[in-house]
Amino acid sequence: MQRPGLVLRQLALDLPHAESFRRDDFLESHSNAAALALVDQWPEWPSRVAAIVGPRGSGKSHLAAIWAERTGARIVVGSGLTRADVPAQLATAALVVEDISPGRIDEAALFHLFNLAHEDGAYLLLTAPQRIDGAGFVLPDLISRLRAVPSATLAAPDDALLSAVLVKLFSDRQLAIGEGVIAYLLPRIERSLASAREIVGRLDRAALTGGRAVSRQLAAEVLQQD
């Protein structure tokens, strides 16, 4: 029997939340229009290699997934790229390599990938947290190749995009939100899609644990924990 005044708290299970990377789920705005246009313009690219540049959580992986679905490309993480695996990874004639960062990728393997893709007429889409203009890389021939890659940059999301993303993330979790929650969060969270995902996840767990609705008051309490 529950004791008077005792509030039962639900156990907030940190279950994996499936996120859709379909084209219809990508929210377009001025901050990502150039990168989305790059994906949509395939195969009418100026070359068979292109890059999308932007900070963590800016939408690079979503755009890469859209392009991969359209082209049948495989997706590999740059840190896992090896020279021996390059021929098999290009078997579909299209490949996404995520997170091209100096010091975190085998430069010889990446250079081999460029060469083999050129020989096979394959397409490459690279993603990176910063401009791949060769800075930080060592191999001169690779640096030359990287500097020639056309790229599109994802800017920080504007208010319209960040608002739409927050609404969608709450909706994806089937969370009804109180009036003013979005307006309260916008100036108080980091201007990134990653931050939006994080705060929605935290509010979801807090609401479940406390048996409460997602309100402005709950948002204030969660943010005060930072």
Phi and psi at residue 181, in whole multiples of 5°?
A: -65, -50
- Which of the 8 DSSP states describes residue 187? G
> What is the separation, in whole angstroms, between the first and last Cα of the chain?
36
Statement: residue 13 has pLDDT above 50:
no
Q: pLDDT tier at 9 (50, 70, 90 boundaries)?
A: very low
Give the pLDDT score at 14: 47
Max mean pLDDT range (153-162, 170-179, 200-209): 200-209
Strand order in the sheet with 123-128: 74-77, 94-98, 123-128, 49-53, 151-153
**Residue recorded with tokens 């359209």:** 70
Statement: residue 17 has pLDDT above 90:
no
Statement: residue 7 has pLDDT above 70:
no
pLDDT for 111-141, tens place per residue? Answer: 999 999 999 999 999 999 988 888 899 999 9
Q: What is the mean pLDDT of residues 106-113?
A: 97
Statement: residue 4 has pLDDT above 70:
no
Give the pLDDT score at 19: 59
**Alpha-carbon separation of residue 172 from 49, 60, 83, 126, 158 (angstroms):** 34, 20, 40, 28, 21
Give the pLDDT score at 56: 82
The two structure tokens encoding residue 30: 């001025």
CA 49 to CA 38: how far, in whole Å? 11
Q: What is the mean pLDDT of residues 198-223?
A: 95
Give the pLDDT score at 112: 97
Give the ranges where the chain is alpha helix by DSSP (H).
33-41, 60-71, 86-89, 107-120, 140-147, 159-172, 181-185, 193-210, 216-224
Give the pLDDT score at 27: 84
- Which of the 8 DSSP states describes residue 189? S
The DSSP annotation for 59-100 comes to SHHHHHHHHHHHHT-EEEEGGG--GGGHHHHTTTSEEEEE--
Contact between 56 and 194 (Cβ < 8 Å):
yes
CA 119 to CA 124: how far, in whole Å? 13
Angle (deg, nearest 10), helices 193-210 and 216-224: 110
pLDDT for 69-86, tens place per residue? Answer: 999 999 999 999 999 999
CATH numbers and ranges of domains, the chain: 29-153 (3.40.50.300), 159-224 (1.10.8.60)
Give the pLDDT score at 57: 77
98 beta partners: 77
pLDDT for 149-166, tens place per residue? Answer: 999 999 888 888 899 999
Give the pLDDT score at 5: 33
Q: What is the mean pLDDT of residues 23-44?
A: 89
77 beta partners: 98
How far is C-alpha 27 from the chain's CA centre?
12
Statement: residue 12 has pLDDT above 60:
no
Give the pLDDT score at 41: 96
Task: Kindly tell me the burial class for residue 126, based on how many C-beta atoms sit within 10 Å of its own C-beta (0-12, 13-18, 19 or more).
Answer: buried
